[in-house]
Every structure is written in C-alpha cells, then in structure tokens.
Amino acid sequence: MPAYRASSSFTSSASLSEERCRPRSSFNRDGRVFRRGEGFRPYLQEQEVFLRSNTDSVDDELWHELGLNDFVITNVRIGRHQFNRYSDIMVEHQRGLLNRGLEPWDTEEHESPILEASLGYTASIGMMLFEQNELQRRRVRVGISFCDSFVDYCFPD
C-alpha cells in the first residue's frame, strides 16, 4: 500500500479515499495559467475545449493556444469523431489502423505516454488526410456527373 503524508489539517479517511479513486483529468496536466504564446489571456477551460472539439468538422480551429498535451488530446478527440463519420466507407485495413491510434490506451499493455501521443497524433493526421481525400473524391464524382449530363444534353441519342 502506498504511503502518503497527511496534511496538518483534519481530513477524514473517506475524503482521502475519494481523492485517490477520482480519476485525474488528462486536460492541462502542466497546470498552465495562460494560453500558449499569450501571457495575458487565461488558459482555456476543459469544458470550453470539450464543446469546441465535440464535432468532426473544426476547420476554423487552430488550437494554437493549447499546450502540446492538450493539443494532441483535442485532435485525437476530433479524429475519433471523423473516424466515426467515415468508418463505414473505409476498407478493413484503414479502419483497423486508424482505430488503433484513436482508441484509448489498452489497460493490459504497458503504458507509454510518448507512444500514446505519437499514435494519437499520427492517427488524427491520418483522419484529416482521409477526410480531404474523401472530399476530393466527391468533387471529382460531381464533376464527372456534370460532364456526363452536359454531354447527354449536347449530344442526345
């Protein structure tokens, strides 16, 4: 059993056990007070980032004001939303590879924060590229359909 030092103020054993059992938030682990690059604006709250990233379409967000850990966590969250949106049109290999990088860390494996961040960042970039490729494919399909319609109009049977 791990040892801990009790503070000089009275603390009930129930509140100590509750504190130990409560999962530590992965947001703002560094305890930042100010936004990155802006020493006068307060750091974003977890709820604000959660609400802004709770979608698969955040093209207007740079997330430049977040620390590196929060930046990766936020982009993995967005990547997970994109994955859920496009997973039905992916081939099995794509789905498995991207899902592995975007899913939470397996508790049966040795935890490696650097590897987890690398996988998450790479998978979120992969989802961004997949989404861009899918948008281009749709544009080409619309262009081809338009050309076919134009040819049919100009040269009726």
In this prediction, the residues of the chain whose per-residue pLDDT falls under 50 are 1-24
Residues 63/75, Cβ–Cβ less than 8 Å: yes
How far is the C-alpha of 33 from the C-alpha of 28, rounded, in Å? 9
Q: What are phi and psi of 12, to 5 degrees?
A: -75, 155
In 3-state terms, what secondary structure has residue 39? strand
State residue 56's pLDDT score: 61
What is the rounded average pLDDT for all residues in the chain?
Answer: 79
How far is the C-alpha of 33 from the C-alpha of 120, rounded, in Å? 25
- Chain-centre distance for alpha carbon 113: 15
In 3-state terms, what secondary structure has residue 41? strand
**Per-domain residue ranges for the chain?**
13-154
State residue 41's pLDDT score: 87
Q: What is the largest CA-CA distance in the chain?
A: 93
Q: What is the pLDDT of residues 96-140, one digit of tens each?
A: 999 988 988 778 888 888 888 899 999 999 999 999 999 999 999
